[in-house]
Amino acid sequence: MNLRLEHARALTRREFLTRSGKLGLGAMALDGLLSNGFAASQTVNPLAPKAPPLPAKIKSVIYLSMSGAPPQHDLFDWKPELVKHHMQDCPADFLKGQTFAFIKGTPKLLGTQAKFAQYGKNGAWVSEHLPHFQKIVDDVVIVRSMNTTQFNHAPAELFLHTGNMFAGSASIGAWATYGLGSENQDLPGFVVLLSGGTDPTGGKATWGSGFLPSVYQGVQCRAAGEPILYANNPDGMSRETRRQSLDALKTLNEAEEKQFGDPETVTRIAQYELAYRMQMAVPGVMDISKETPETIEMYGAKPGEASFANNCLLARRLVEQGVRYVHLFDWGWDMHGTGKDNDLLGGLPRKCANVDQASAALVQDLKQRGLLDSTLVVWGGEFGRTPMNEARGGSTFLGRDHHPHAFTLWMAGGGLKKGEVFGETDELGYFVTQDKVTVRDLQATIMHLFGFDPYKFSYRYQGLNNRLIGPTNEGQIVKGILA
């Protein structure tokens, strides 16, 4: 055995830096550790609940992501002029200098084939595809003036949920648990639930922790089968044996943390302990069969199955138990019109039927339980759809291409106005004409509702004070939707 070689392999990067001189690389490493909020021998629970620095309107968020981008013209943004000019050439002014994912040449305008009517005290226009949403318009604010810089799915989802179009930044849920911890130490602070048959296009990076310690990343749970994979004891190991093993590992990890001060060691300790506690807590909270038959029917849920409806009911149960951030991704909203599964006449009504009842039930259920005042619910996609027909490859199905300039989402809960429609688009629903809300604005507003100053809330990494809203102050709190 080459002892010098084995010794070199045993040295961690952090130990190398600490041995590199008090005024040189070692000092840089120490500054990095301290700026990250971790110092040597610190072994506090990183998920311990914390009070927000400013008065907060909400304690938790349930974000309903319609992965693929719903077509706003067919759901929320009624445009009679667009219907009037259905299948006419799109005006050149709307095409000049624009980039599309798939549209070529001069496309035809596409008026919605759905029927619209006005609902609620302020007469919000809502499509026939959302009959349950029509009943809760007085509890929500519809934002019709959303805008993003991205027009492809993965970058747009990453930008929306992490503030960066590239993988590697911290998601909103990770920021929330980093800043506030978790009110329930037996459950993850940040839970992710999937439906639609696959992950969102942005992948698991959309709920990652990025440069934050990994203890803050989202924990993916399942509505059917084992709720969290690999959390249960393997065959032949009892809970008592598991406890003894974890105690031994904790002693070793604490010794390592004391020597090197690596924040990921603290994360490892916390995650092992949380996994042990989750073995008892998670099965109970994830069992929706414990709900009343009336509640299950209200959501359209079916215990034991994997569905968006089940996930919505689970989301309510999770925030009720103190989970900080619950993110639901429902894949399959990419209505290009290239076939019968993604056309506006067949595919869209089917997708709406899968989510409309449960989305509305979630708001109603939170409200009747007194939880809506402390919970923010957000529903929407990563960008919008064009007011033109895509007709890719000569397809005769109706569909819309990706569109970053204008889209719609709705929000409900603590700190928000109710029964409002915010923002406007032009007569074709192409550009925002009033009260534009950017992705940065949405992120700043969510942080504000949590009780953070979005311009000061940061995490030092690689010499920079990284923020969810990015390095500039372009993101503004959307005061027009605040109560």
pLDDT of residue 239: 63
Q: For all residues of the chain together, what is the average pLDDT? A: 88
- What are the DSSP calls for 54-76, one per residue? S--S-SEEEEEEEET---GGGTT
Nearest to 371 by CA among 433, 317, 328, 292: 317
Q: Is 432 helix (H, G, I), strand (E, B) or coil?
A: strand
Q: What is the DSSP string of 325-386?
A: EEEEEEE------SSGGGSTTTHHHHHHHHHHHHHHHHHHHHHHTT-GGGEEEEEE-SSEE-
434: enclosing H helix or E strand: strand 432-434
**Per-residue model confidence (pLDDT) at position 125:** 98
Q: CB within 8 A of 83, min separation 6: which ones?
A: 111, 112
pLDDT of residue 30: 37
Q: Is the pLDDT of residue 294 over 60?
A: yes
Q: Which two tokens stand for residue 185?
A: 């130490």
**Closest-CA residue to 385 (of 366, 370, 404, 371):** 404
Least confident of 203-217, 266-280, 425-439: 266-280
β-bridge pairing 402-403 and 124-127: unpaired
Report yes or no: 405 and 430 within 8 Å, Cβ to Cβ: yes
Render pLDDT for 433-480 as a digit per residue (tens, 0 to 9). Answer: 999 999 999 999 999 999 999 999 999 999 999 999 999 999 999 999
Measured between alpha carbons, how far is 253 from 251 in angstroms, rounded to an integer?
Answer: 6
More confident residue, 363 or 242: 363
Going by DSSP bridges, is the β-strand pair 141-147/375-380 parallel, antiparallel, or unpaired?
A: unpaired
Cα angle value 53/54/57 (rounded, 5°): 125
Q: In the prediction, which pLDDT does 46 show?
A: 87
Could you read off the pLDDT of 116-151 as tens digits, one per residue? 999 999 999 999 999 999 999 999 999 999 999 999
Dig out the tokens for 121 from the structure.
């005290």
Spatial neighbors of 165 by CB under 8 A, at least 6 apart, are 149, 150, 155, 156, 158, 159
Q: What's residue 270's pLDDT? A: 66
Buried b or exposed e, range 406-439, using 16+ CB within 10 angstroms:
bbbbbbbbbbbebbbbbbebbebbbebeeebbbb
- Asked if residue 225 has pLDDT above 60, the reply is yes
What is the mean pLDDT of the segment spanning 251-266? 74
| Reported confidence tier of residue 224, pLDDT bands at 50, 70, 90 | low
Question: Using only C-alpha atoms, what is the Rg of the chain?
Answer: 24
61-85 per-position pLDDT tens digit: 999 999 999 999 999 999 999 999 9
Cβ atoms of residues 156 and 148 within 8 Å:
yes
Averaged pLDDT, 144-162: 97
First CA to last CA distance, the chain: 70
The predicted-structure confidence for 385-434, as pLDDT tens digits, reads as follows: 999 999 999 999 999 999 999 999 999 999 999 999 999 999 999 999 99
pLDDT at 238: 65
Q: Residue 324: which pLDDT band, with cuts at 50, 70 and 90?
A: very high
| pLDDT higher than 90, residue 42 | no
For residue 44, the model assigns a pLDDT of: 73
Q: What is the pLDDT of residue 245?
A: 67
Q: How many CA atoms lie within 13 A of 180 on its CB side?
A: 31
Length of the chain: 483
Q: Is the pLDDT score of 228 beyond 70?
A: no
Residue 461's nearest CA partner among 257, 210, 230, 87 is: 210
With tokens 């006005």, the residue in question is: 118
23 pLDDT above the threshold of 80: no
Whole-prediction pTM value?
A: 0.85
DSSP 230: T
Assess contact for 127 and 112: CB atoms under 8 A.
yes
Alpha-carbon distance of 135 to 127, in angstroms, equals 12
The answer to whether the beta carbons of residues 415 and 16 sit under 8 Å apart is no
